[in-house]
Amino acid sequence: MRRLTVMMCVMLVSVLAAHGAHAGSAVNVTPDGIAVGGYDTVAYFTQGEAVQGDPAFRHEWNGATWHFANVDNRDRFVEDPEAYAPQFGGWCAYALSVGEYAAEVDPATAWSVVDDKLYLNWDEKVQRQWTSGMGWRITRGEHHWETVEPQVADGTARFSRKPDSPWNGVTQ
């Protein structure tokens, strides 16, 4: 069942593309360089929910623009960005646990904070699958990320895109 789900996702929406992160960065960004679709990564930890950030409270870090809901969250991030940035550059934790490719995420509904680390996933269904084997999936994801991270940064990674991805049709 797990293989079927992964194969369907890859077959239906996989696009071999040389974009998805800004040049030299492995962060999952929108075409205009916004990390995590503009969601406030600090709020996942402090409020326990996904909160859309405000461009008025932004910070440039690791080749991306990060948005925050308020100045306090922005300042927390500025003090320790590694503590609040999502693991795997904000790419799907489940996808990295099963293979060496970068898949988009749904930061509004498919996220977890585990051992003080933020993980994002493709959607709620994939999130549930990831959660069922979280321990070994994190370990496998970390292993695959060692290969995928430089590929995302240099544009040679395999990307799995959603049908409504802002990257569809974008060329670089």
What is d(CA 35, CA 37) in angstroms, rounded to the nearest whole number? Answer: 5
What is d(CA 55, CA 35) in angstroms, rounded to the nearest whole number? Answer: 11
- Confidence (pLDDT) at 25: 87
pTM: 0.86
CA 56 to centroid of chain Cα atoms: 22
Residue 58 has pLDDT above 90, yes or no: yes
Give tens-digit pLDDT for 88-110: 999 999 999 999 999 999 999 99
Inter-CA distances, 157 with 44, 79, 100, 167, 171, Å: 28, 31, 8, 14, 15
Q: b/e per residue, 37-47, with b = 16+ CB within 10 A?
A: bbbbbbbbbee
